A and B are shown apart, each in its own frame.
Chain A
Amino acid sequence: MMRKTSYRSKPRSVALAGKAALMMAVWPGMLAIPGAAQAQQDLQGGAPRNEAAAGDAVARLALSQQLFVQGQAYGDALTVLAAARLAASVRVDQGQALTPRSEAKISATPSAPADEETEALTTGPDSLADPGMPVLAAPDPMPPPLSPAEAGQFPDAGAMFARALALAGQDDYLGELIVAAQAQAQAQAQAGAAAAQGTVAAYGAHLAADQVDHWQLAGKSGEGVAVLGHGGAALEIAVRDASGIDLCRETGAGIFLYCAIPAAAAAPLVVSITSQDTSSDSGPDTSSGLGGADYTLITGAGPQ
């Protein structure tokens, strides 16, 4: 409360002088950002800016989830609050339309593709790990034991606001800000404003060790696709178009990938996700489903 008192005690002339200095300092950089100048004009005019943001909802939600991880890691309530506000602006549907084609990463015996679809996959998206080796079809994939949302790995806006509040601790001032932001987000959601920022479909999946999941997407230009790995397991993620061009590729632990889809990309797209189980160096995985990785695929909510 002391800081509020001291800040408000500034003479108005000082505040105006500070505002002028800020505008001089900031304006060149702000002009470089599309929409920023318009946003500034709206603020100067006192008009609330309530239009849907440019950029797609997939990118927005992916940004939110990555911010949450960052805020969590550093115990930063403000970062988690920013994540929560972004998450609240996107409606997330649990994906039903897609299921991955799951295959074993077996590289011992060459084998002809079983059918045209398998051929397309083995010659295209799955050549990440070892282009010379075929991929054999595997039995039905194991169902995930818990969805990422159920496991707390893909928190929704409510969980994020709650976490921000917990991290704010004894800072009443920040706590009030978080509660107010949550109330505003809830009011907007009830009014249907969240849908104005877009709706996405989130598909939680479990990838067994030494398996490859292939997701086939319609791949609309400008929509984007995101994959979030959970739990620190190592993954390879690749997005390729129908002509085999690599659009995005990422490898690592605790992985995050957002892939914008260029207009020139040939549909359909295939997202391939490979588990990189480090224990496989010492021999084949015999853990009967133990290991592997959980991840969430985020796409636009339209028909795929």
Chain B
Amino acid sequence: MLRPAIFLSLIAAVLAVPVAAQEARPPGPVSTLSLALRLYAQAAQEGDALGMAVAARLAEGIRLREGAGALWQKDSGAFSPPADLPADLPGSAPVSPDLLFSGAAISGALLMAEEDEALSDLLSELPPPALRGSVSLARGTLPPKRRDGWSIPFAGQSPAGIGVFAGDSGEDSGEAADAAAPSQLWWMVEDLSGGVMCPLRPVSDVICSFTPAENVFYRVVIANPSAVAGDYMLVVN
């Protein structure tokens, strides 16, 4: 019964979709990863198997280049939180990209879909997702009141995407694993003369994107104002 309706809807859809929408440019891989994290957090919260599966597939389409780029330079030091650092900020996502990349996310989606046989069938037999670009990443663990600075080269006239997400180093970071209050890392991006490209923000699913005018280094500062150690994952396209 549904097939005639689907066919008619299909015709209507093809006629209705405007050209402008069809010409949308694909977001960069860091943006895609951020999108996947937000979607997964929202979908898991609501028990939405389809949303969780879509999020996992978005992440699966991103190729990871583990280890910092050859030209990346790292320095570390003490961190003194600015006085105006907000004590709380809504909207940060607790999901780590490691969950999405691990395969557990799609397994979680299948588990959620178990009550819906049609959806379960569909999700279990989907083809591999489309490739959505590559990112370089570096992992780190920040003890309390410390900061890492990463100087990273970016190509001029090419969109730059930078994300710092909650990490899972795979190592026991001491108190962080067991603490009742998780660490809250913050990060920002500045040019080498100290000009702020993206202001200080909590590690969540929000990325920093811009297009450099020329080939230049930018500095990503990741800081831990909290009392417990925290892991991070720095991702750059």
Of A17-25, A104-112, A185-193, the one touching chain B: A17-25
The answer to the question of B234 belonging to the interface, with a C-beta cut-off of 8 Å to chain A, is: no
Residue pair B99, A32 in contact (C-beta under 8 Å)? yes
A82 part of interface (Cβ distance < 8 Å): yes
A35→B41 CA distance, assembly (Å): 9
Interface residue range, chain B: 35 or more
Extra contacts besides A4-B121, A69-B27 (13): CB < 8 Å: A7-B121, A26-B108, A32-B94, A33-B45, A70-B32, A153-B18, A159-B16, A173-B118, A224-B91, A249-B196, A251-B210, A252-B209, A253-B159
Q: Are A74 and B121 in contact (CB under 8 A)?
A: no
Per-residue 0/1 for A241-279: is the Cβ within 8 Å of any B Cβ (1 yes, 0 no)?
000011111111111101011111100000000000000
**Which of B47, B48, B53 has the largest count of A CB atoms less than 10 A from its CB?**
B47
| Chain A residues within an 8 Å CB radius of B129 | 76
Interface residue stretch chosen among A117-125, A134-142, A174-182, A284-292 = A174-182
Contact residues of B: prevailing secondary structure: helix
Check A166–B44 contact: CB distance below 8 A.
Answer: no
Question: B25 touching A254 by the CB < 8 A rule?
Answer: yes
Stretch of B1-9, B72-80, B146-154, B221-229 on the interface side: B1-9
Task: Out of B17, B18, B111, B197, name the residue touching A26 (CB < 8 Å).
Answer: B111
- For chain A residues 139-190, which have a beta carbon within 8 Å of chain B? 151-153, 155, 159, 162-163, 165-166, 168-169, 172-180
Q: Which residues of A contact B (CB under 8 A)?
A: 3-4, 7-8, 19, 22-23, 25-26, 28-30, 32-36, 39-40, 42-43, 46, 49, 53-55, 59-60, 63, 66-67, 69-70, 72-74, 76, 78-79, 81-82, 85-86, 151-153, 155, 159, 162-163, 165-166, 168-169, 172-180, 221-222, 224, 230-232, 234, 245-256, 258, 260-265
Q: How far is the CA of A67 from the CA of B3 in the complex (A)?
A: 27
The answer to whether B179 has its CB under 8 Å from any CB of chain A is no
Known contacts: A59-B91, A152-B20, A165-B10. The answer to whether A245 contacts B84 by CB under 8 A is: yes
B192 proximity list for chain A (CB < 8 A): none
- CB of B54 within 8 A of chain A? yes
| Closest B residue by C-beta to A245 | B84
Chain B residues with Cβ below 8 Å from A262 are 86, 88-90
Kindly list chain A residues whose C-beta atoms are within 8 Å of the C-beta of B132: 74
Q: Is the CB of A22 within 8 A of B211?
A: no
Quick check: A63 and B39 within 8 Å, CB to CB?
A: yes
CB–CB A152/B44 < 8 A: no
Q: Is B185 part of the contact surface with A, judged by Cβ < 8 Å?
A: no
Give the distance in Å from the alpha carbon of A40 to the alpha carbon of B45 in the complex.
Answer: 9
* Residues B7-63 near A (CB distance < 8 A): 9-10, 12-14, 16-22, 24-27, 31-32, 35, 38-48, 50-51, 53-54, 57-58
**Within 8 Å CB of A261, what residues of B?**
90
In the complex, residue of chain A having the shortest beta-carbon distance to the beta carbon of B19: A152
Are B115 and A43 in contact, CB atoms less than 8 angstroms apart? yes
Instruction: Tell whether B206 is near chain A: CB-to-CB under 8 Å.
Output: yes
Minimum CB distance partner of B88 in chain A: A263
Residue B126 lies at the interface, judged by CB distance under 8 Å to chain A = yes
